[in-house]
Amino acid sequence: MGQKIELPDVFVEYRKMQLLYQSALKEIGTKLEILNDEFKFVHCYNPIEHIESRLKSEESIVRKLMNKGKDVTIENIEKYIDDIAGIRVICSFTPDIYRIVDMLSAQDDIEVIKTKDYMNHPKPSGYRSYHMIITVPIFLSDRRIPTRVEIQIRTVAMDFWASLEHKIYYKYEGNAPEYIRTELRECAEMISYLDSKMLAINEEIRGMDVKEE
């Protein structure tokens, strides 16, 4: 395992900032729950299976800044770390991912900073997901502060694959044997095929329900 990283004194100040990121997670989490409830009411269908949120650990922040060759300062944390606050949205089917992206992007108080579509353009490892960096305003007693959140949206099957890849990455510190990387890529292709087959079955069932009505 990697060497334990000593945390600098700057994190005494950083912990004061955590209120903003925790509040941003609550804001986005509530928005997603409302959208899911509305979709259920209008379409009798939930696009979101579940939502997970987390704050990046201080040790991970230090490691990421070190990898970027940056000093560990409050200014650099704010400037170079986009994923301090992270939300993972797990959907049933691939089209749900883009529904969530469109619904969030359409909200007036959300600004989309950047996106990465690993659905249509998977990573070499086979990783598939849709990433958004957004800002949401947090209203304090005396000011309004736009706060960044990273949102990852993927299917249940993709999330299972990503969880395994994450464990393997840390097990081998980013240097897994080639045969394991090959097997992971093959699994990613199988999961993509499974997602498309499950979607086709679901659409066929929904089509039958419409005809019966």
pLDDT beyond 50 at 1? no
Residue 170 clears pLDDT 50, i.e. is over it = yes
Cβ-based neighbours of 131, under 8 Å, separated by 6 or more: 115, 116, 118, 150, 151, 152, 153
Each residue's pLDDT tens digit, 6-31: 555 677 778 878 999 999 999 999 99
* CATH fold for domain 10-212: Beta Polymerase; domain 2 (3.30.460)
User: Which whole number is the average pLDDT over 127-135?
Assistant: 97
Flag whether pLDDT at 210 surpasses 80.
no
Domain boundaries, the chain: 10-212
| Residue 209's pLDDT band (cuts 50, 70, 90) | low
Q: In what side-by-side order are the strands of the sheet with 144-155?
A: 48-55, 85-91, 144-155, 130-139, 111-117
Q: Model-level pTM greater than 0.85? A: yes
Active site residues: 150
